């Protein structure tokens, strides 16, 4: 039996107050194993930094991706206590990073979606700088607040290369925050950058702005349109196995979007081991004015065509591989890069 009429039938239009959503899958199955023992401490730093550095047009989705009870309790505490956290999704099993992210992405309407690992420390002005690139480059679809001098090596920057050669300008610029590059390679315990990498990175520019070519995806902001180009089937891998390439990187590139990063370093990848400098950095962040500036309007996306993507793919092979040394020398870097 049904009594009366569902009132939502009279008010059935979704009212969107935000335009930027941050999605964080959390997998901390225990706090005993060496790999996970600092997991909750690191995640608390992530949330503390994130909640303090976002504007009021932002909402947060947290995914409990098979976490232990202590972590579940903290997630519930965040959901009940932080206004920005308006979604908490639970799974008793680890769905994998991609599937966990898509469980939130497919059910939200914000035009900008930041996907982040649970071990990221967000720095002041990250959102302002990322959104600034998306505004000044309407062709961009994926922007990270963490630049990498090796971002140009990605096989998923074909549309970006086409844009830089025919619509903008590709050049080497001085690295703004070498410390950020050093912090990242320390976080993964692997030396990535040589002396030249710490001095120069490859950028693309237009009359409005410039940005570093390429980016990683441990934290990145994507236009919602990118996810529409992803494979329709469920991802079969928990992590790696090419899953992030297939569901994030390739869809962005093939859809004709640029893959970029801010020139300044606006986030840290913390890894899984707590270090005292992390607490010191958070304390400094909390003394700075809280970020409140949101975009008045986000320009519509302007992706390149499939033909331009293919031309960019050919040019990347020629200029960044076959004649890389010659091309980079013309651009101002004569040493091995």
Asked whether 163 and 169 are in contact (CB, 8 A), the reply is: no
61: nearest Cα among 14, 110, 127? 110
Average pLDDT (120-140) is 97
Q: CATH assignment of 17-330?
A: 3.90.550.10
**Would you state the pLDDT for residue 243?**
86
Residue 292 and residue 282: Cα distance in Å, rounded?
Answer: 18
Task: Report helix, strand or coil for 231.
Answer: coil
Indicate the pLDDT class of residue 336, thresholds 50, 70 and 90. confident
End-to-end alpha-carbon separation of the chain, Å? 72
Q: Is 297 exposed, middle or buried (0-12, 13-18, 19+ CB in 10 A)?
A: exposed
116: nearest Cα among 182, 204, 51? 51
Helices (H), the chain: 39-52, 69-81, 97-105, 126-136, 158-166, 178-187, 224-227, 243-244, 250-254, 276-285, 306-317, 324-330
Average pLDDT (75-101) is 95
Two tokens at 227? 């996810």
Residues 6+ apart with CB under 8 A from 303: 139, 141, 159, 225, 255, 256, 257
How many C-beta neighbours within 10 Å does residue 264 have?
A: 17
Convert the pLDDT of each residue in 158-196 to its tens digit: 999 999 999 999 999 999 999 999 999 999 888 999 999
96: nearest Cα among 294, 252, 234, 282? 234
Q: Average the pLDDT over each of 73-77, 108-112, 286-290 and give the range with the smallest value.
A: 286-290
Residue 167 and residue 4: Cα distance in Å, rounded?
Answer: 59
How many C-beta neighbours within 10 Å does residue 58 have?
A: 21
The β-bridge relationship of strands 200-205 and 169-174 is antiparallel
**Would you state the pLDDT for residue 194?**
93
Asked whether 25 and 120 are in contact (CB, 8 A), the reply is: no
* Largest Cα span, the chain: 79
Indicate the pLDDT class of residue 13, thresholds 50, 70 and 90. low
Two tokens at 213? 């070519």
Average pLDDT (108-126) is 96
Two tokens at 260? 């970029």
The β-bridge relationship of strands 112-116 and 210-213 is unpaired
Residue 261 and residue 263: Cα distance in Å, rounded?
Answer: 6
Task: Report helix, strand or coil for 321.
Answer: helix
Residues 6+ apart with CB under 8 A from 91: 63, 64, 65, 66, 100
Convert the pLDDT of each residue in 199-254 to its tens digit: 999 999 999 999 999 999 899 999 999 999 888 777 777 666 678 999 999 999 99
The β-bridge relationship of strands 85-91 and 58-65 is parallel
**Would you state the pLDDT for residue 5?**
66
Residue 108, pLDDT > 70, answer yes
How many C-beta neighbours within 10 Å does residue 107 have?
A: 10
């Amino acid at each position: 039996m049904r009594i009366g009429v569902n009132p939502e039938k009279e008010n059935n239009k979704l009212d969107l107050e935000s335009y930027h959503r941050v999605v964080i899958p959390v997998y901390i199955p225990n706090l005993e194993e060496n790999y996970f023992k600092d997991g909750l401490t690191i995640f608390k730093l992530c949330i503390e930094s994130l909640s303090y550095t976002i504007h009021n047009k932002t909402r947060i989705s947290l995914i409990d991706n098979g976490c232990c009870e202590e972590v579940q309790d903290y997630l519930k505490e965040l959901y009940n206590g932080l206004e920005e956290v308006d979604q908490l999704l639970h799974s008793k099993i680890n769905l994998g990073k991609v599937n966990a992210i898509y469980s939130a992405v497919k059910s939200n309407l914000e035009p900008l979606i930041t996907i982040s690992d649970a071990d990221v420390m967000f720095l002041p002005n990250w959102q302002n700088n990322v959104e600034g690139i998306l505004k000044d480059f309407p062709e961009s679809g994926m922007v990270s607040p963490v630049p990498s001098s090796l971002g140009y090596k990605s096989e998923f920057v074909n549309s970006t290369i086409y844009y830089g050669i025919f619509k903008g300008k590709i050049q080497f610029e001085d690295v703004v925050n070498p410390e950020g590059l050093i912090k990242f390679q320390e976080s993964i315990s692997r030396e990535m950058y040589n002396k030249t990498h710490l001095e120069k990175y490859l950028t693309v520019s237009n009359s409005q702005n410039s940005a570093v070519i390429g980016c990683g995806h441990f934290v990145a902001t994507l236009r919602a349109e990118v996810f529409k180009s992803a494979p329709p089937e469920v991802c079969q891998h928990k992590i790696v196995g090419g899953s992030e390439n297939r569901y994030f990187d390739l869809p962005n590139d093939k859809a004709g979007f640029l893959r970029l990063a801010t020139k300044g370093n606006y986030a840290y990848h913390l890894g899984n081991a707590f270090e005292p400098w992390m607490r010191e950095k958070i304390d400094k962040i909390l003394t700075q004015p809280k970020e409140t500036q949101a975009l008045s309007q986000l320009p519509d996306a302007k992706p390149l065509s499939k033909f331009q993507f293919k031309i960019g793919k050919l040019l990347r092979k020629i200029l960044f591989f076959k004649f890389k040394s010659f091309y980079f020398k013309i651009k101002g870097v004569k040493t091995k890069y």
